[in-house]
Amino acid sequence: MKKRLASAVMCACLLVAALPVTAAAEEPQNAQQVTIAGKVLTDGMGWNNDGSTAAHGSKDNNAYFDGGVLYLNDAEIEAEQNAVSVSNGDVIIDVSGENVIVSTASGAMYSSVIFNGSEQGTAGDVTIQGDGFLGIYVGDGGASACALEGIAQDTTMTIRDAALDAEGRITGQGTLAVCGEAQVSVLSSYNCISMHEVRVSDQAVVALDSADGGGGSAISCDSMQITGGYVLAYGDYGAINCPGDVSVTGGVLEAYCRMNPYAPALYVYSYTDENGNQAGGHVTTTGMEVKAGVSDLDAQPVTDFDTTFKNYGYALIAPSLDALAWENPFADVKETDWFYSAVSYVNEHGMMNGVADTKFAPKGKVSRAQAVQMVYAISRNYPRQYNVHTDQPWTFADVSQNAWYADAAGWGGATGVVSGVGNNRFAPNVDVPREQFATILYSFAQKAGYDVSARASLDSFHDAAKVSGWAQNAMQWAVAEGVMSGTNKGNLNPKGTLTRAEAAAMLRSFVRATVLKA
């Protein structure tokens, strides 16, 4: 389960909310029809008496179009009849009234929700659903904070089969429920989620990172229930802070403490309730197994749930620890191979696949297309890497838009993680030297905000003089951090073509030296 769910954690890019520009005075090519409480509104541009453009549509139930944007003030909409279906447009919702459900039409690709709550929070439950959503935003009009705020007590915000990708916090006194195949990714300088209750179920994926030294937790809540899905939480001084109870009866919960790896990744403690009684402070599981440690590499099984988590910076709760073990699909990768653990790690974490279903080709050469795809996978699989993103990918003259590596190459060129070879060419099939791959990882670490100041002398290697001038800093850093080591003959082999086994080892070491240690 972990492998399948983890590969889906970081599939979407960061989104920027933007309201559509008012259309020109002509009939639109794709008029929208929206059903509200049994009535149909048609988005068609027309003329006012003064010659200006206007949107046709009923204002019954306070729902109306304006410039292609649907505004929904739902005070008069009945809870069971308020499903709103939209495609290729934005919906602005004032949820200070009754319950509301917003869903995208099947196959929609460009829909989003701008969420306007009252100062006291929402007064009704809100459900966002549909695989066509690009994002959910908070703000007044189009001003987006890229988060959800002010969810009131006794109110539930449900995200079902939708994507929420945000830099900002999800806050309130109510309940956040993530279910279906929803994907929620939040990067915050403080608590990513601060709610009364958090629920995760079905196949939902929740990836959170409280980064940048803000001192917060990925999740701060009074209680948390996980009955399915996958929760990945990173925190500077703690990942999950819960003065109540945490219950895990399905899915996977994985938590890391970044700044102090010995601080509790999962801190669950008791409190005094309104009657003066002690309550909370327990982790309960049903048919689940638990590990805790400083990192995922040294985690040990846990039997005493209520005390162990206060001493470790890593926690994993899963249906079966054995089930999370890597199932080797590659006939050419044996347990006795020096690269076995590296291949298992990068394959399990979605950084490298085989060249065929049962073939990894460890001695195969790594091309520039493969190299940028590997680093691109890291940028998608770990929450903090979202600050290495671009809304406008680079277009290389020799990279087809249909190529399997097109997204990765475009991302790498636009962010500066990789560069072309001149004349706007990427040269995707050219083999990658070892020093060039070290430079790519070094560049990515810089842009992700990691400390890359470490340096080691290369003088102990026989071929240190062969390291290119442009690769000196990267190679010194890679050796210092253990990302690269010499051969058994005491050489760095900087000009040697990188093999797939070597790439797997460098990728795993890179993650250990940056993502899990930062």
pLDDT tens per residue, range 72-125 = 554 344 433 445 555 556 666 655 555 667 666 555 545 667 666 555 555 567
Quote the CA–CA distance of 12 and 457 in Å, as a whole number: 40
Q: Which residue has the tokens 């670490």?
A: 445
Query: Are 284 and 276 in contact, with CB atoms under 8 Å apart?
Result: no
Helix (H, G, I), strand (E, B) or coil at 191: coil
Q: What is the pLDDT of residue 427?
A: 96
Quote the CA–CA distance of 342 and 504 in Å, as a whole number: 5
Helix (H) or strand (E) holding 345: helix 340-348
The secondary structure of the chain in percent helix, strand, coil, rounded to multiples of 5, reads: 20, 30, 50
Quote the CA–CA distance of 78 and 399 in Å, as a whole number: 52
Neighbours of 512 (CB within 10 A): 17
Q: What is the pLDDT of residue 198?
A: 96
Q: Which residues of the chain have pLDDT under 50?
A: 1-32, 36-39, 42-61, 74-82, 109, 140-145, 384, 386, 518
Q: Give φ, ψ of 265 to 5 degrees.
A: -75, -35
In this structure, which long-range contacts are made by residues 465-473, counting pairs with CB atoms below 8 Å and at least 24 apart in sequence? Answer: 466/492, 466/494, 466/495, 467/435, 467/492, 467/494, 468/435, 468/494, 470/439, 471/435, 471/436, 471/438, 471/439, 473/442
Quote the CA–CA distance of 175 and 153 in Å, as a whole number: 8
The C-alpha torsion from 350 through 354 and 357 to 358, rounded to 10°, is -120
Q: How many CA atoms lie within 13 A of 450 on its CB side?
A: 25
Single-letter residue type at 120 = Q
Tokens for 442? 């070094």
- Can you say whether the dihedral through the CA atoms of 475, 478, 483, 484 is positive or negative? positive
The pTM of this model reads 0.60
Single-letter residue type at 253 = L
Residues 6+ apart with CB under 8 A from 69: 19, 20, 89, 90, 91, 92
Tokens for 294? 């400083």
Tokens for 83? 């499903």
Domain spans, the chain: 340-513
Helix (H) or strand (E) holding 178: strand 175-179
Closest to 20 in 3D by CA, of 45, 42, 52, 48: 45
Quote the CA–CA distance of 385 and 6 in Å, as a whole number: 15
Tokens for 196? 């009364």
Tokens for 52? 């200006």
Quote the CA–CA distance of 138 and 127 in Å, as a whole number: 15
Rounded mean pLDDT of the chain? 75
Neighbours of 26 (CB within 10 A): 9
**Residue spans of beta strands (DSSP E) within 412-484:** none
Q: Which residue has the tokens 């994907």?
A: 183
Q: What is the pLDDT of residue 94?
A: 59
Pairing status of strand 90-94 against strand 69-73 = parallel
Quote the CA–CA distance of 257 and 103 in Å, as a whole number: 36
Q: Taking phi first (over 0 means left), then psi (-120 to 50 degrees means alpha), and beta for anything else, what does residue 516 get?
A: alpha
Single-letter residue type at 439 = T
Exposure b/e, 234-266, CB count within 10 A at least 16 = b: bbbbbbbbbbbbbbbbbbbbbbbbbeebebbbb
Q: Give φ, ψ of 446 to 5 degrees.
A: -60, -50
Quote the CA–CA distance of 332 and 66 in Å, as a whole number: 61
Quote the CA–CA distance of 326 and 344 in Å, as a whole number: 6
Tokens for 97? 């009234």
Query: Are 205 and 184 in contact, with CB atoms under 8 Å apart?
Result: yes
